[in-house]
Amino acid sequence: MQQNIARDKASTVSESRNDKLIGYLQQHLPKLVLAPSFAVILMFVYGFILWTVYLSFSASKMLPNYTWVGLEQWSRLWNTLTWQISLQNLFIFSVLYIGLCIVIGLSLAILLDQKIRLEGGLRTLYLYPMALSFIVTGTAWKWFLNPGLGLERTMHEWGFVDFKFDWLINSDMAIYTVVIAGVWQASGFIMAMFLAGLRGIDNEILKAAQIDGAPAWKIYTRIIIPQLGPVFLSAFVVLLHLAIKSFDLVIALTGGGPGNATSLPATFMYSYSFTRNQIGVGASSAVFMLMIIASIMVPYIYSEIKGGKK
Amino acid sequence: MSFLNIENVNKHYFDVEVLKSINIEINKGDFLVLVGPSGCGKSTLLNMIAGLDEISGGDISIDGQSMAGVHPSKRDIAMVFQSYALYPNMSVAKNISFGLEMRKVPKVERDKAVQKVAKMLQMEQLLDRKPSQLSGGQRQRVAMGRALVREPRVFLFDEPLSNLDAKLRVDMRTEIKQLHQRLGATIVYVTHDQIEAMTLATKIAVMNAGIVQQFGSPEEIYDNPVNTFVAGFMGSPSMNLIQAKVCKVEDKLCFEVATADQDRPLLLPIERDQQALVSYLNRNVTLGLRPETITDPGSANRSEGQIHEADLMVKVTEPTGADMFVVTQLGGTEVVARMRSRCGALAGQSCRFAFDVSRNLAFDGDTGDRIQ
Ligand SMILES: Nc1ncnc2c1ncn2[C@@H]1O[C@H](COP(=O)(O)OP(=O)(O)O)[C@@H](O)[C@H]1O
Ligand SMILES: [Mg+2]
């Protein structure tokens, strides 16, 4: 009798231990499942960021070399003419690219918002370029803008013999061809963002504005566009990081040339790290690009998180 | 000459008829309430008066002037929307003055008008805020201010109180009524709440399924509903609509109503619309009894009504404090009576009910139309 009770006790103890284990598993299973991918990201994204930062202070040339040289690579970077041109190009490119994409995207969205027929079709048409890879866009525009093959030759064949459009091979103008191709690709996407924003505006507000006697363009400038602030911000952030990361578009369209006329920080980084045996300089340019992006993304993400909590 | 005239107005979206030959006329200073269940076309009609929706057929005229093809801003109307529709990027003052600015009223006059309206609605301290910094009730006030500042010929309200909590709704209702009396404005007001309709209106149009079921003063609508829809929709608690048979007892027309006790139907003498009901002898009709016409014998109004008393089984009692709603079974459905709170009725026991038979209404059993 006494033994029986003792055995019962023992079995309930082991049962409750089992329950504890299951409870522990249930509570921690998600963490356990996520742990490997978390470790991989930690290593390959953040680990390599730190590694790159270290390399930018090292004597690395063709291969990584961990001798600490302080700011030597950084000063070399800033004394490189190509880097200065790259930054200047980046400035021209991003200002025009972001500005034109937003202006064109917003205008297209407003036109499409006029409840026209075929809207679905048109919207897809404008969105298609974004589905293409930058390489395809770059190559297509290279052919189109090539004086011997594309637009210029077609115009000559049509009889406009004096027509001249050689921006692609003109080192002063080549950067603008990158702008044209980039804008062509992204403005449809920006249009879709603005269209979603326009559709989100309360219909009754527009009715109220109509009764208040505002003409259509004033309804846009005074009431609708001021409400699109968040869309402008999102479009700006998306476009800016696309601009800073622009690499394949330039490689396919101009290859950074003529000369280094269309070099951008991303192409600079690639060529110094992997073809010119200057890993240290390449790493410092990469870190600098990270700093620009971070200085914009961090406040943006921070404000998004804060806004989300509210 | 009517001030706002809605003549034979139709509306269809593609094949779907939303409004069918609407005819409404009101005078200057009237408070017209369009009331009906959700989806019956009230907002559509209001939007057509405003010019925001196109009319498919018929005509709307204001002050003798046809509004066909007149832009909303040229109709001299102002509208308050259910969502308030404030411009989120503008301050309260800007919201109120935007319409004046678009009409090129000089800034000095605009500011004066804004101040006046802010004072009238007691919101001077809110003028610099953005709509997002206001409570629901305050936004409601701004929306009203935006309408008032223009001093239009007609005010249009689309369910302006439905987003407010119960207490605020009652307060704002009173305030709107006072505004109407003070300004003598012509108002068209949409609501699905029949209490709002009864308290505010000088004229009510009860709508259902795109048709104006009845148009008249609140008293007409309440005392003389033209069909079972209007009868059931207006009034709270709503009118008891029960099956009854018209019969003759000792040469007197009566409604015969089944009770819980099968052998003893309730006989209510017919005192109203007798001539019309003669032809319904031995036929089924729908009998309409307002809860307040069924009371305890002590509170029955013997000087004005004609009282018929009967003992009936009480199913449920619902005390509200001021009154007690007593539920019994009649004609196969539950019937609500409104008694004094201390009348002594107890659930499961018999109780004496007093019917004011002079206020009983009869409706055709098939069509639901009033027999009168
Ligand atoms: N743009 C539209 N297209 C098709 N049907 C509509 C449209 N607007 C409203 N309706 C229909 O018209 C009817 C009346 O709508 P509405 O006037 O908003 O009703 P209420 O304001 O009485 O609730 C509804 O059945 C609705 O589905
Ligand atoms: Mg509505």
> A10 pLDDT exceeds 70?
no
Question: What percentage of residues in chain A have a pLDDT greater than 90?
Answer: 27
Q: Is the CB of B38 inside a 6 Å radius of any atom of ligand 1?
A: yes
What strand order describes the sheet that includes B240-249? B266-269, B252-257, B240-249, B284-289, B361-364
Can you give the pLDDT at residue B306?
A: 87
A291 touching B, CB under 8 A? Answer: no
Can you give the pLDDT at residue A164?
A: 81
Test A211 with B73 for CB contact under 8 angstroms. Answer: yes
Asked casually if ipTM beats, i.e. exceeds, 0.85, the reply is no
Atom 14 (ligand 1): residue with closest C-alpha? B41
β-bridge pairing B361-364 and B203-208: unpaired
The per-residue pLDDT for range B1-11, each reduced to its tens digit, is: 689 999 999 99
Of B72, B86, B88, the CB nearest to A211: B72
Can you give the pLDDT at residue A14?
A: 62
The per-residue pLDDT for range B91-136, each reduced to its tens digit, is: 999 999 999 999 999 999 999 999 999 998 888 899 999 999 998 8
Q: Please, what's the largest Cα pairwise distance for chain A?
A: 114
Residues of chain B neighbouring A207 (CB-CB closer than 8 A): 47, 50, 52, 72, 79, 81, 85
- Cβ neighbours of A153 (radius 10 Å): 14
Can you give the pLDDT at residue A124?
A: 81
Can you give the pLDDT at residue B274?
A: 82
Can you give the pLDDT at residue A303?
A: 83
Q: Is the CB of B298 inside a 6 Å radius of any atom of ligand 1?
A: no
> B369 pLDDT exceeds 60?
yes
Can you give the pLDDT at residue B339?
A: 92
Ligand nearest to the backbone CA of B38: 1
Average pLDDT over residues B328-350: 89
**Integer Cα distance of B97 and A219 in angstroms:** 15
Ligand 1: centre distance to CA A77 (Å)? 66
Ligand 1: centre distance to CA B36 (Å)? 13
Can you give the pLDDT at residue B157?
A: 94
Q: If pLDDT is split at 50, 70 and 90, which confidence band does B342 have?
A: confident
> B193 pLDDT exceeds 80?
yes
Of B72, B83, B146, the CB nearest to A210: B72
Ligand nearest to the backbone CA of B47: 1
The per-residue pLDDT for range A159-214, each reduced to its tens digit, is: 888 888 888 888 888 889 889 989 998 988 999 999 999 988 988 999 999 999 99
Test B98 with A214 for CB contact under 8 angstroms. Answer: yes
A115 touching B, CB under 8 A? Answer: no
**Residue B148 structure tokens:** 């008032």
Q: Is the CB of B208 inside a 6 Å radius of any atom of ligand 1?
A: no
> A309 pLDDT exceeds 60?
no
Of A205, A222, A226, the CB nearest to B85: A205
Q: If pLDDT is split at 50, 70 and 90, which confidence band does A15 have?
A: low
Residues of chain B neighbouring A205 (CB-CB closer than 8 A): 85-88
pTM greater than 0.95 = no
Most confident of A29-43, B29-43, B331-345: B29-43
> A95 pLDDT exceeds 60?
yes
**A50: number of CA atoms within 13 Å, CB side?**
6
**Integer Cα distance of B257 and B289 in angstroms:** 12
Ligand 1: centre distance to CA A204 (Å)? 14
Can you give the pLDDT at residue A93?
A: 93
Comparing C-alpha atoms, which of B182, B188, B171, B110 is closest to residue B136?
B171
Interface test with B, best of A212, A218, A221, A225 (most B CBs within 10 A): A212
The per-residue pLDDT for range B277-313, each reduced to its tens digit, is: 888 988 999 999 999 999 998 888 888 888 999 999 9
Q: Is the CB of B44 inside a 6 Å radius of any atom of ligand 1?
A: yes
Chain B nearest C-alpha distance from A200 (Å)? 13
Q: Phi/psi of residue A46, each to 5°?
A: -75, -35
Test A226 with B73 for CB contact under 8 angstroms. Answer: no
Handedness of CA A307, A203, B189, B207 (dihedral sign): negative
User: Cα separations (Å) of B49 from A91, B11, B12, B157?
Assistant: 54, 12, 15, 11
Test B81 with A204 for CB contact under 8 angstroms. Answer: yes
Chain B nearest C-alpha distance from A214 (Å)? 6
Chain B nearest C-alpha distance from A42 (Å)? 41
Residues of chain B neighbouring A202 (CB-CB closer than 8 A): 83, 85
Task: Determine contact, residues B46/B57, Cβ cutoff 8 Å.
Answer: no
Test A213 with B89 for CB contact under 8 angstroms. Answer: no
**Integer Cα distance of B272 and A282 in angstroms:** 100
Of B77, B83, B86, the CB nearest to A211: B77
Helix A279-309 with A229-245: angle, nearest 10 deg: 160
What strand order describes the sheet that includes B323-330? B294-295, B350-356, B307-319, B323-330, B333-340
A211 touching B, CB under 8 A? Answer: yes
Sequence-separated (6 or more) residues with CB below 8 Å from residue B275: none
Chain B nearest C-alpha distance from A218 (Å)? 9
Find the range with the poorest average confidence among A29-33, A220-224, B101-105, B113-117: A29-33
**Average confidence score pLDDT of chain A:** 85
Q: If pLDDT is split at 50, 70 and 90, which confidence band does B149 have?
A: very high
Task: Determine contact, residues B187/B32, Cβ cutoff 8 Å.
Answer: yes
Test A211 with B79 for CB contact under 8 angstroms. Answer: yes
Q: If pLDDT is split at 50, 70 and 90, which confidence band does A310 have?
A: very low
Atom 25 (ligand 1): residue with closest C-alpha? B39
Q: For a pocket test of ligand 1, which of B33, B44, B54, B233 has the largest count of ligand atoms closer than 8 A to its C-beta?
A: B44
Find the range with the poorest average confidence among A257-261, B64-68, B174-178, B276-280: A257-261
> A4 pLDDT exceeds 60?
no
Of B74, B85, B103, the CB nearest to A208: B85
Interface test with A, best of B71, B77, B79, B163 (most A CBs within 10 A): B79
Test B102 with A208 for CB contact under 8 angstroms. Answer: no
Of A202, A222, A226, the CB nearest to B85: A202
Q: Is the CB of B13 inside a 6 Å radius of any atom of ligand 1?
A: yes
